[in-house]
Amino acid sequence: MSLVPISIADLRGATAEPLDDLRAAKMRGAGLFLVHSRQLSATSERGALEGDFLLEWDETLDATTLDPSLWRFLVGPGQFPAFARWARNRLGNIEALLQLAPDEESDLTCCVVPHLEAIPGVKPVLAPVAPDAPQLLAAARRLLPLTPYPLSLLPLTGSYDPDAMTLVFSSLMESGRVHSFLVPSPDPRHSAAAATSLLNALELRRFGVNYVSCPTCGRCEIPLEEIVAQVRQQTSDISTPLNVAIMGCVVNGPGESKHADIGIAGGRSGGVLIKNGQVVGKLEKHEFVDALVREIRQMARDRGEPISG
Ligand code: SF4
């Protein structure tokens, strides 16, 4: 088993307009959204459910009305028997993220796993519960040899330390069994962005524009850092994976940006625009930023992203 992890945005705290938060989190790379069952009907009625949801398990939930594509549940510690009874009566692919507290780990192989394996169509994912990053890593390492199931990393308790969690994620990636992770934050847009940037940093996911600028040398004739900063700032809303090269001279720049989707090679008296490795036009010096932003936005639009400007 080898998984490409997904990031989860926690929408349970979304208050003002959950759908806006949902769309914003999606644009920032979230692949799964954690919602309360009570948020479900409002979201569903407005046509926003697209099979990407993780519902917090609630025994009062009338799950018979759910679309089968939505049968993903976060099941809290102590809820396994109720969940298993419910799941036994239903067929289909149900993905259950089972939160597992340390005092329940010993029950895993004797009770939980046989019970779950007796239910057709249920795909368990184990989510260890721990108050901090070192204990989360320790719990995940205890669970890995006990079962073949993937792990979801939901540090829902205690304080969140991004550096310590990066270490946890990177330590567990080699196992190939990390299913998903959630960065806790009161703002789901922030948690989605932070989780996705972690995936990008670990080179597990491509999301948004990747800028490559030349290291500069004596040939560089343009204010490279300033141009990169301006273009980056004006394209921060784009989620389409694109490689953009910004090179500091027209002598070697075109060759060095041949693997980019879009690029410029600039010089003191002007530069060239490069698309898919080919020089496609000349640019005046004052046009560098605007031309790059325009081309990046157009390419993202051509690849299906609904963006303005
Ligand atoms: S692209 Fe030009 S300025 Fe940049 S490092 Fe290469 S030779 Fe130097």
The 3-state secondary structure of the chain reads: CCCCCEEEEECCCCCCCHHHHHHHHHHCCCCEEEECHHHHHHHHHCCCCCCCEEEECCCCCCHHHCCHHHCEEEECCCCHHHHHHHHHCCCCCEEEEEEECHHHHHHHHHHHHHHHHCCCCEEEEEEECCCCHHHHHHHHHHHCCCCCCCEEECCCCCCCCHHHHHHHHHHHHCCCCEEEEECCCCCHHHHHHHHHHHHHHCCCCCCCEEEEECCCCCCCCCCHHHHHHHHHHHCCCCCCCEEEEEECCCCCHHHHCCCCCEEEEEECCEEEEEECCEEEEEECHHHHHHHHHHHHHHHHHHCCCCCCC
The architecture of the domain spanning 6-201 is: Alpha-Beta Barrel (3.20)
Query: Quick one: pLDDT at residue 70?
Result: 64
Ligand 1 pocket at CB < 6 A: 214-217, 219-220, 247-249, 251-253, 256
Residue-wise pLDDT tens digits, 206-222: 777 888 888 778 888 89
pTM confidence score: 0.67
| Ligand 1, pocket-test mutation among 212, 213, 216, most atoms within 8 A of CB | 216
The CATH number, out of the four listed (2.50.20.10, 3.40.50.10490, 3.30.413.10, 3.40.1180.10), of the domain defined by the range 209-302: 3.30.413.10
Ranges of CATH 3.30.413.10 domains, the chain: 209-302
Residue-wise pLDDT tens digits, 114-137: 877 887 778 889 999 888 888 999
**Å from CA of 257 to ligand 1 middle:** 10
Ranges of CATH 3.20.20.70 domains, the chain: 6-201
